[in-house]
């Protein structure tokens, strides 16, 4: 695993040498090239001016900010160098916050952070343990690839996980979503059935099959086309709308039967069975009474 950043985490007077690594694996994704249908030749793109139709080279192209229709401020490479932030190779922790304060919409991309050399082992381990026991996360700023990012540092297993965060100003407001203010009220019986369905379908995340089924199906399709096999597509059946109460009751029964089936296959007790065992253990054993003769 190759590091993409090397520097120090610093909070107060404590500094920790670290290396940062990409946490996402993209090597397994299938990638396509654009080709000409007639001869399978690769497709290229001609850069040209839409105003005068002149063919352009890279040195003919500059960046411009449009402040009025057809009016631009031209930005040269030297202009960008004037605002380029100097990388200090130090991530200063500005504060420790509760993870509940960070909205899920702010999380953008994860990175792994590992110790850089034996000298950093003790201070690195100390930060991991302190974050875990305090149930806090650290927030700081990091200059990575010529831009300043807000970074959240959280404990993960035996190490540290960096999350690059979006700036709050980049997010739109949920209240601006159309039709949210026109939602109908729900009935108590519907809410009760919905909660029962959620409880019945609750399982540990580790038991879920979260593999990318699309990539696997796409690979099978490509292999079939290479082998010259005929591709058969199954038509999807249309869902028939049903009353919400009927749908909830049927869903609960379906979830319970699937849970019972999984319990039989794995030999594990369902949540209801475990609750019954616990309840039976709480009850005192009845003493037998002997009749006097």
- In this structure, are residues 183 and 136 in contact, taking their beta carbons and an 8 Å threshold? no
**Is pLDDT of 147 > 50?**
yes
DSSP one-letter code for 211: -
Interatomic CA distance for residues 271 and 199, integer angstroms: 9
Output the pLDDT for position 82: 75
Nearest to 151, CA basis, from 192, 234, 198, 91: 91
109 and 160 together in one domain: yes
- Residue 238 burial by CB count (10 A; 0-12/13-18/19+): exposed, middle or buried? exposed
Output the pLDDT for position 86: 65
Nearest to 49, CA basis, from 33, 64, 34, 30: 64
Residue 44 lies in a domain: no
**Is pLDDT of 138 > 90?**
yes
Residue-wise pLDDT tens digits, 56-69: 998 999 999 999 99
- Domain hosting 121: range is 3-27+84-168
CATH number at residue 101: 2.40.290.10
Residue 206 lies in a domain: no
161 and 18 together in one domain: yes
Residue 164 lies in a domain: yes
> Comparing 151-160, 188-197, 201-210, which segment has the lowest mean pLDDT?
201-210
192 and 109 together in one domain: no
126 and 249 together in one domain: no
Q: What is the mean pLDDT of the chain?
A: 82
DSSP one-letter code for 132: H
Output the pLDDT for position 291: 41
- Does this model's pTM top 0.75? My answer is no
Nearest to 4, CA basis, from 15, 17, 19: 19
CA of 105: how far to CAs of 93, 151, 164, 174, 184, in Å?
A: 21, 14, 12, 11, 26
Output the pLDDT for position 154: 96
Residue 238 lies in a domain: no
156 and 195 together in one domain: no
126 and 196 together in one domain: no
264 and 160 together in one domain: no
> Comparing 70-79, 136-145, 266-275, which segment has the lowest mean pLDDT?
266-275
Output the pLDDT for position 131: 95
Question: Average of pLDDT values for 77-98?
Answer: 82
Interatomic CA distance for residues 69 and 57, integer angstroms: 25
Tokens (6 digits) for 139 = 């927030």
117 and 192 together in one domain: no
143 and 194 together in one domain: no
Please count the structural domains in the chain. 2
**Is pLDDT of 73 > 60?**
yes
21 and 108 together in one domain: yes
Residue 136 lies in a domain: yes
Output the pLDDT for position 292: 37
> Comparing 18-22, 193-197, 245-249, which segment has the lowest mean pLDDT?
245-249
126 and 194 together in one domain: no
**Is pLDDT of 106 > 70?**
yes
Residue 98 lies in a domain: yes
Residue-wise pLDDT tens digits, 25-59: 766 678 899 999 999 999 988 899 999 999 999 89
Which residues are bridge partners to 149 per DSSP?
A: 142
> Comparing 133-142, 167-176, 218-227, 280-289, which segment has the lowest mean pLDDT?
280-289
CB atoms within 10 A of CB 20: 21
Better-scored residue on pLDDT, 255 or 178? 178
Question: Average of pLDDT values for 74-84?
Answer: 81
Question: Average of pLDDT values for 125-151?
Answer: 88
Residue 210 lies in a domain: no
Output the pLDDT for position 255: 82
Interatomic CA distance for residues 18 and 128, integer angstroms: 13
Reported as a pLDDT band with limits 50, 70 and 90, residue 235 is low
Residue 32 lies in a domain: no
Question: Average of pLDDT values for 265-285?
Answer: 50
Better-scored residue on pLDDT, 207 or 137? 137
**Is pLDDT of 3 > 60?**
yes
- In this structure, are residues 87 and 141 in contact, taking their beta carbons and an 8 Å threshold? no
* Distance, CA of 148 to chain centre: 21
CA of 249: how far to CAs of 254, 255, 257, in Å?
A: 9, 10, 13
**Is pLDDT of 293 > 50?**
no
**Is pLDDT of 157 > 60?**
yes
122 and 257 together in one domain: no
H or E element, residue 197? helix 188-201
Pairing of β 90-98 and β 3-11: parallel
Question: Average of pLDDT values for 131-143?
Answer: 92
């Amino acid at each position: 695993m190759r590091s993409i950043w090397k520097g120090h985490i610093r909070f107060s007077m404590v500094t920790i040498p670290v290396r940062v690594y990409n946490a996402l694996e993209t090597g397994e994704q299938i990638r396509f090239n654009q080709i000409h249908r007639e001869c399978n030749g690769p497709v290229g793109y001609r850069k040209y001016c839409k105003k005068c139709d002149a063919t352009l080279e890279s040195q003919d192209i500059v960046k411009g900010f449009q402040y009025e229709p057809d009016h631009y401020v031209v930005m040269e490479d030297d202009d960008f160098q004037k605002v380029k932030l100097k990388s200090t190779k130090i991530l200063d922790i500005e504060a420790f916050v509760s993870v509940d304060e960070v909205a899920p919409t702010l999380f953008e991309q994860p990175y792994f952070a590992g110790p850089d050399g034996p000298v950093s082992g003790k201070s690195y381990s100390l930060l991991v343990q302190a974050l875990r026991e305090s149930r806090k996360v650290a927030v700081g700023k990091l200059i990575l690839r010529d831009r300043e990012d807000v970074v959240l540092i959280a404990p993960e297993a035996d190490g540290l996980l960096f999350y690059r965060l979006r700036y709050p100003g980049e997010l739109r407001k949920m209240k601006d979503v159309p039709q949210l203010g026109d939602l109908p009220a729900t009935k108590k019986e519907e809410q009760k059935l919905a909660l029962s369905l959620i409880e019945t379908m609750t399982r540990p995340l580790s038991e879920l099959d979260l593999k990318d089924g699309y990539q696997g199906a796409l690979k099978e399709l490509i292999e079939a086309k290479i082998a010259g096999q005929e591709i058969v597509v199954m038509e999807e059946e249309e869902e028939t709308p049903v009353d919400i109460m009927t749908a909830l009751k049927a869903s609960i029964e379906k979830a319970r039967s699937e849970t019972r089936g999984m319990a039989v296959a794995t030999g594990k007790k369902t949540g209801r069975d475990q609750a019954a065992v616990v309840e039976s253990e709480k009850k005192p054993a009845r003493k037998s009474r002997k009749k006097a003769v």
